[in-house]
Chain A
Amino acid sequence: MSTNAPPNDAAFVDFDQVWLAYNEDLLARKVFAVEDINLKVQRGEFIAIVGPSGCGKSTFMKLTTGLKMPSMGQIRIDGQPVTGPLKISGMAFQAPSLLPWRTTLDNVLLPLEIVEPYRHQFKDRRKEFEERALKLLESVGLGGMGQKFPWELSGGMQQRASICRALIHEPKMLLLDEPFGALDAFTREELWCTLRDLWEAQRFNVILVTHDLRESVFLADTVYCMSKSPGRFVVKREIQIPRTRELEVTYTKDFTDVVHELRGHIGAMRKAGAVINQ
């Protein structure tokens, strides 16, 4: 995989006026979970989506992966209209959700047992796949942990393994739904750096959903703010801080200015929401 993919004219992820209501009834009453989403993401871009809880961030993820179809509008990924679950993406959630009866290594290998073309090669190429998985585990600091069971690992280690599982089949797109939300502050910052290094090495697309503004600014090329019910993108903010970003950058004025600016947007939305609710 080349580290510097040439900028492509066509966007890798392209949302064109996408609206989603969860069922027919809600659609008829014009109650939308997300509305009028327009988004163009370049190949290899790292975007973050922030917003108050319940604003439809997870719905957005489901749309992007093809688990949900939009009620209106069109989504194109890599030039192709999305018609069903995309096998080019990997997902990780706040809960690591590893399978407790499988070793960490076998957990990481799980996608290869399911996704084509690996599925049919799995028996023959198992050794090779295992090596790949161990290498990936090593790169996130889990060297030598392959044979341990998930419940023998700490929360941070489990989350690392979960990210490995999302990446083992070399997806073009990594979707992270508040992946570091349940971790303590130090572990979280460590994992930011792990994710940053993985991304810089492989340059897959990342869509990171988070509450944490510092996290979004530290990691992403572009941060989108989403408003609450209905979910809409209200702010797009490009983060100009040069790569490779070190943790120290989070204490600089430039960094905190951006965080404050985003904080302002979110605060305004929350206030507006409160008035409407009364």
Chain B
Amino acid sequence: MTSQQRKNLERFSPLLLLIAIVVVWELITVGFGVSEFIFPSPSRIWEQTLEHKATIMGHAWRTFWVTMAGFGLAIVVGVLLGFLIGSSRLAYAAVYPLMTAFNALPKAAFVPILVVWFGIGVGPAILTAFLISFFPIMVNIATGLATLEPELEDVLRVLGAKRWDVLTKVGLPRSMPYFFGSLKVAITLAFVGTTVSEMTASNEGIGYLLISAGSSMQMGLAFSGLLVVGVMAMAMYELFSFIEKHTTGWAHRGSQGG
């Protein structure tokens, strides 16, 4: 195998694995005659997906924009809080333990409370997506800022640099790779948050679709819903991965630079 071929194989390996899984799945479900109400075959899921295309798209769009709204909120709050606790030792000491405790709470448990406050609909879903996804962003920004090399700080302070100079010239650019890394994690979490919230507190969205499909024994449709969430999360992950590579290439040296 030439190195070009090996590279291609590596590049398409996720796709090959996916195809292999689908084929095995199909063979098992068809071969053993598994009931569609227990575990539908991939071909049956696909059929149902096409059949309910319009419905699924509607719910998917709802889940998508709700997730992006929550995620946008998470970026703003995460960056601000991360900046605060990363640049002040006192804030770090005060906020960090509380934040860790908060992060340990299951976010699904917040949904009933949010429903009381905001009613059924968009509010709880956006806020659940936000609550679940701001933490990694905050932690990563804070880490990037707090782990500055002391020598570098001295070099700048000798020149009369203020704290603010050190933060903007060095701290923030330095934490950008951490930031983009955290976005990749946070976006997938945000989809989890939205879907979980929609399952109990919404009449729209993929989460709602999953529940209603399940209760009417339309297993194919339920699996379609899962498929759509997976595809959206993966697409966003790849998008942020792409942005990361093109904005903070310096952090991924090793690959031939220049």
Contacts and interface: CB of A to CB of B under 8 A. Distances in A.
B160 A87 contact: yes
A116 B155 contact: no
From B151, B155, B159, B251, name the one whose CB has the most chain A CB atoms within 10 angstroms. Answer: B159
A169 B159 contact: yes
B154 A116 contact: no
B232 interface: no
Contacts of B253: 100, 151
B257 A100 contact: no
Interface residues of B, number: 23
Contact of A114 (B154, B159, B250): B159
B173 A99 contact: yes
B248 A89 contact: no
A87 B162 CA distance: 12
Contact of A85 (B152, B159, B251): B159
A111 B170 CA distance: 12
A85 B250 contact: no
B248 A101 contact: yes
B114 to A, nearest CB: 40
B169 interface: yes
B245 interface: no
Contact of A99 (B157, B158, B161, B170): B170
A5 B156 CA distance: 28
Interface string A141-173: 000000011011000000000000110010000
A70 interface: no
Contact of B165 (A97, A99, A114, A165): A114
Interface in B169-194: 169-170, 173-174, 176
Nearest to A103: B250
A100 B159 contact: no
Chain A's interface size range is 20 to 34
Contact of A67 (B158, B174, B251): B158
B159 A152 contact: no
Contacts, number: 70
B160 A115 contact: yes
Contact of B159 (A87, A95, A148, A151): A87
B160 A148 contact: no
A86 interface: yes
Nearest to B257: A152
A95 B151 contact: yes
A122 interface: no
B149 to A, nearest CB: 6
B31 interface: no
B158 to A, nearest CB: 5
A88 B13 CA distance: 58
B151 A85 contact: no
A90 interface: yes
A154 to B, nearest CB: 14
A169 B174 CA distance: 24
Given A101-B248, A152-B258, A116 B158 contact: no
Interface string B122-162: 00000000000000000000000000010110111111110
25 contacts: A67-B157, A85-B157, A86-B158, A87-B158, A87-B159, A90-B158, A91-B154, A91-B155, A92-B155, A93-B154, A95-B151, A99-B173, A99-B174, A100-B250, A100-B253, A101-B248, A111-B159, A114-B161, A114-B169, A115-B160, A116-B160, A149-B257, A149-B258, A152-B258, A175-B158
Given A85-B159, A166-B155, 12 more contacts: A85-B158, A85-B160, A87-B160, A90-B159, A95-B151, A97-B149, A99-B173, A110-B156, A110-B169, A114-B159, A115-B159, A148-B258
Interface of A: 62, 65-67, 85-87, 89-93, 95, 97, 99-101, 110-111, 113-116, 148-149, 151-152, 165-166, 169, 175
Interface of B: 149, 151-152, 154-161, 165, 169-170, 173-174, 176, 248, 250-251, 253, 257-258
